[in-house]
Chain A
Amino acid sequence: MRTVTAAYLRRDWLVWSSYRFAALFQIMTVAVVVIGVAFAGDSLITKVSEFNGSQDFASFVLAGLAFTDALFSALTGPSRAVRDGQTSGTLEPVLLTPIRTGQFIIASSVFQIVLSFVRATLIVTSAVVFLGYWHHADVLAAVLVFVPGFLTLLGIGLLSSAFTIVVKQGDPVVAGYLAISGLLGGTLIPVSVLPAWLRSVAELLPLTHALRGLRVALDGGGIDAVAGSVAVLTIMALVSLPLGIYAATAATRRARREGSLVVY
């Protein structure tokens, strides 16, 4: 797996860095997000009071954006990798090599995931260094929340890739989940300000628990304070990851039988 992942990382780095403007633009976007959110927080929205214990609007939104990006990379990466392979024509020669479909899907998602981690790290580091946020963050607690949250979304991402393999377009998993999570997961709007019935829906979303736990950890809450989020996310991961692996494997077999594996 390491050899295959390293091969994909190297390939994707070469491709990504060959689009020089896009690469530069992505790095600049991080700076624009940090400066823009800090400015908006300082001058416009400081009076909004519900930010789940975070210091202010800017820290709430920056944490939301950074970690939603990193977590969603697990959700969108697998189906995007399959789709890119289908449309570029490179999926077929890859599937002729002795690697399993799961290996291919995960290894080909790694670069986008790493890239999102780099963006998240840049946002968090900028917030710590330039804006003075999260000096008392409990990194271990944050990692304990992030890992099961990431694995839960990776499971859903694999499920989504199964749809891409079978139906090619119109994957309902990513489209539906992104829409609902974007609104209700607590990226930009605190869950606590939502109407009661929407709060119940939000509690079903892994993103809600992940962002809640991560914000608590960033604000210095220890392992005890994030234990609830970690427990919920671990249960979700134990369900979604095997389901996602099974779905991707079954979808690949079905596509091989239908002869549609590399059709797009």
Chain B
Amino acid sequence: MKAVDVRDVRKSFRRVRGLRDTFRSSVFDVALAGINLSVEEGEIFGLLGPNGAGKTTLIKILCGLIIPDQGEVRIAGLDVTESMAARRAIGVVYGDERSFHWRLSVRENLRFFASLYRIPPRVADTRINDLIGLVGLEHAADRKMLGFSSGMKQRASIARGLLHDPAVVLMDEPTRMLDPIGAFELHSLIRERIAEEGRTVLVATNLMAEAETLCNRLLLIDRGRPMLTGTVSEFRAAFRPETVYRFLVEGPLGDALAALRLLPGVHEVRTEHRSADAAELVVTFDGDVSALPAIIRLLVDANLEIASCLKEEVSLDQVFRAVVSARPEPACVP
């Protein structure tokens, strides 16, 4: 059974307009246009996209707050639009600060939500203590949330998302309000504690580094359309199928460049930052990098000193920019 199973989900929203447009026919903006998504149990899945891509709409459809126009959404095998049991299988963590009663403490807030999930009080108290410890809010558990920092509110949101022990945790831009240290700690928490317990985590983010750090697989959407799906390495391969190595060498290049170009598997060799006694060689392979030892040997035989040799990774940022810069025009349906 899939933890998250989304089939051909489509959603359009009526555009909100001014008073003078009251008697004109409605215009609908396409928010999601045929999203398919399948997430295995225990997987950390990333939902990527720029602002306005439809990530939050999809998250809200996954947790049943929005009914799709078309398509089917199942969480842990349960239809989220019809089943109350599905809500018990889903925990949601917001990046938005405004989702707590600020005049109550974290403990009181969590007790309130535990009651809505019908968790018996004794079980709830034990669970709340565990979660407060997990997110590191022991020192502030009984303080009103009025004076909480963004990071503390985010930790409280994580505790609430895990309160009813859900199988699937949906996180909508969870580090939006956090500083780099807070974001790092949250990433550790997701990887080492939440996912380790066997939960499925779906993270919506527009931070490529976050997706790269956390996720097993990714779906990149833009303007509601699925653009690319796969693992991080598959994303890189889709952007640039060839492999690139950079060699920083010291000494006169002589005929070495011409010799390198003759090696099997080498697609291109060019130099960057060249000076009289040093250069950076950029070697592009067709995919097969078996010529790498021969390249090193050739450079050594040519009396060049290899100061460094680095494989050039394509960053997800590059993939993101490439896909999004080729974005289609926004869709609207009269």
Indicate if B128 sits at the interface (CB-CB under 8 A): no
Cα(A10)–Cα(B206), bound, Å:
39
CB pair B112 A89 closer than 8 Å: no
Is the CB of A98 closer than 8 A to any CB of chain B?
yes
Closest chain B residue to A18, Cβ basis:
B103
Q: Would you call A256 and B87 a contact (CB within 8 A)? A: no
Residues of B contacting A14 in the complex (Cβ-Cβ under 8 angstroms):
101, 103-104, 108
CB distance from A15 to the nearest CB of B (A): 5
Q: Does B239 count as interface, using CB distance less than 8 angstroms?
A: no
Contact pick for B65, options A88, A253, A256, CB 8 Å: A256
Please encode chain A, from 234 to 264, with 1 for each CB lying within 8 Å of some chain B CB and 0 for all others: 0000000000000000000100111101100
Inter-chain contact A90/B101, CB cutoff 8 Å: yes
For chain B, the count of residues having a C-beta within 8 Å of the partner chain is: 37
Q: How far is the CA of A15 from the CA of B99 in the complex (A)?
A: 15
Instruction: Give which listed residue, A6, A11, A98, A100, contacts B117 with CB less than 8 A.
Output: A98
A24 at the interface (CB under 8 A from B): no
B90-98, B189-197, B282-290 - interface stretch: B90-98
Q: Which residue of A lies closest to B105 (CB)?
A: A14
Main secondary structure of the interface of B (DSSP, over half): mixed
Q: Are B115 and A89 in contact (CB under 8 A)?
A: no
B170-227: which residues lie under 8 A (CB-CB) from chain A?
Answer: none
Residue from A11, A92, A96 within 8 A of B104 (CB atoms): A11
Q: When A14-B108, A96-B63 are in contact, do A6 and B115 touch as well, CB less than 8 Å? A: yes
Say if the beta carbon of A43 comes within 8 Å of chain B: no
Cβ B112 vs Cβ A261 within 8 A: no
Please state if A18 and B144 are interface contacts (CB–CB under 8 Å): yes
Interface string of A79-120 (1 = CB under 8 A from B): 000000000111011111111100000000000000000000
Contacts of A180 in B (CB 8 A): none
- Residue in chain A with minimal CB distance to B103: A18
Q: For B57, list chain A residues within 8 Å (CB).
A: 259
- A4 on interface, CB distance cutoff 8 Å: yes
B115→A259 contact, CB < 8 A = no
Contact of A258 with B118 at beta-carbon distance under 8 Å, contacts A15-B101, A98-B85 already known: no
Q: Is the CB of B84 within 8 A of A258?
A: no
Chain A residues in 8 Å Cβ range of B67: 253, 256-257
Interchain CA distance A94-B163 in the complex, whole Å: 13
Q: How many chain-A residues does the 8 Å CB contact rule pick out?
A: 29
Interface residues of B in 76-135 (CB under 8 A from A): 81, 84-85, 87-88, 90, 92, 94, 96, 98-101, 103-104, 108, 111-113, 115-118
Interface check B140, CB cutoff 8 A:
no
The answer to whether A98 and B92 have CB atoms under 8 Å apart is: no
A6–B144 CA distance with the chains assembled, in angstroms: 21
Interface contact B65-A3, CB-CB below 8 Å: no
Q: Tell me if B11 is interfacial: C-beta within 8 Å of chain A.
A: yes
Taken together as a complex, chains A and B put the C-alpha atoms of A108 and B54 apart, in Å, by 31
Contacting pair B112 A7 (CB below 8 A)? yes
- Asked if B246 CB lies within 8 Å of chain A CBs, one says no
Report Cα–Cα, A97/B118, bound state, in Å.
9
Q: Which of these, A11, A88, A258, A261, contacts B98 with CB under 8 Å?
A: A88
| B160, CB-defined interface residue at 8 Å | yes
Q: Which residue of A lies closest to B121 (CB)?
A: A3
Instruction: Tell me whether B103 and A15 are in contact (CB under 8 A).
Output: yes
Query: What is the CA–CA distance of A86 and B60 in the complex, to the nearest angstrom?
Result: 16
- A262 and B65 contact, CB distance less than 8 A: yes
21 contacts between A and B (CB under 8 A): A3-B118, A4-B116, A7-B111, A7-B115, A11-B104, A11-B108, A15-B103, A90-B101, A94-B113, A96-B87, A97-B87, A97-B116, A97-B117, A98-B116, A256-B64, A257-B66, A257-B67, A257-B69, A258-B14, A259-B66, A261-B66
Additional 4 contacts, C-beta under 8 A, given A94-B116, A97-B87? A11-B104, A98-B116, A98-B117, A259-B11
Chain B residues near A (Cβ < 8 Å): 11, 13-14, 31, 57, 60, 63-67, 69, 81, 84-85, 87-88, 90, 92, 94, 96, 98-101, 103-104, 108, 111-113, 115-118, 144, 160
